[in-house]
Amino acid sequence: MMRRNNFDILRLILAITVMLFHIGGLTNNSILKLAPGDLAVKCFFVISGYLISKSYLKNSNIYDYAKSRFLRVYPLYFTCVTACFIIGMLMYTSEVSTYLRDGGARYFVSNLAFLNFLQPELPGLFVDNFKNSAVNGSLWTIKIEVMFYISVPVIYGLFGRYFGNRRTVFAIAVLSLISSLLIEFIVNKYGLSDSLKNQLPSLMIFFMVGAVLNFVTPSFLTFKYLPIIVLIIYFCDSHLIGKVIYPLAVAAFVYILVFKTSVINIHDGVGDLSYGIYIFHYPVIQFLYQWGLYNNFFVGFVLTVAVVGVLSYCSWHFMEKRLTSHGQVKSSPLTSVSKV
């Protein structure tokens, strides 16, 4: 099916960008550390806000909505978490009971419940890796994504019913921006953990500016404005006014690339690999690093791309595509198939 937008190719590029960023961070490669991984995640959230809102507004049946979101996200998420848990158990040097007691059971239960922060590591795994022993540092965004999913029926089914969808979306977008600025102020003033900036109240603004695009079409934005938008994104995150502009600039960036750029379709034989790349790449990098395959960076890099590519291809064609068809998923984000 030929698509009239660039959601598929953009998601693929964003997933690859996050993978490159994590390769840089996990292997201390100074060049790949420069990849805009944080921007890529924010773009994913904007895309999610647009597509999930559009999908719900077309069909607000809560059963259909919950089923499609579950089938699109959880089966592959479960597969990835379980596979890492089993591989970690097979590599553990002591008994299975010790493995479970030392954190294995806690990892399995908490991660399957989207509570990755409670137990990001597995016992004995990646302890000698560069700086970070987390099994899958990408999973925190899936938790945020699920919170977005839960918020959509509340936004449109509850508040939107009484105040109107358009008015509600704009109001929540403003409140989300205020919340983001307030949390940043409190974190900086009292020296709290920067991780608090990566929670739902701070990140909701990116989802909401995506949702706003369902009600406002900035048709004046064309490809010629893209360099200006990129410069704004690069420079505006260092002061208060810039932080207000930043989410709008990211939304404009996504809008131009999706709707105002020549359409690039991904062949159906390739499929939508973005979710597979996103969810598999982190543990693949960690395993290859632990096994010494990044002693030669080129070898490690090529193997990472190859392994993640194969896993993503197989997960799409043998799992995601079939479940997407079964669940009649119309659209999604870090995880999506877009047909709008």
How is the chain split into domains, by residue range? Answer: 7-215+225-261+272-298
Q: Which of 151, 155, 146, 142 is nearest to 215 (CA)?
A: 155
Task: List pLDDT tens digits, range 228-272.
Answer: 999 999 888 656 677 889 999 999 999 999 999 999 999 999 999
pLDDT for residue 282 is more than 60: yes
Q: What is the pTM of this model?
A: 0.93
How high is the pLDDT of residue 134? 96
Q: How far apart are CA 145 and CA 275, in angstroms?
A: 12
Mean pLDDT in residue range 45-61: 96
Residue 329, pLDDT > 60, answer no
- pLDDT, tens digit, 9 for 90 and up, residues 291-315: 999 999 999 999 999 999 999 999 9
pLDDT at residue 34 tops 70: yes
Cβ-count burial 135-173 (b if 16+ within 10 Å, e if not): bbbbbbbbbbbbebbebbeebbeebbeeeebeebbbebb
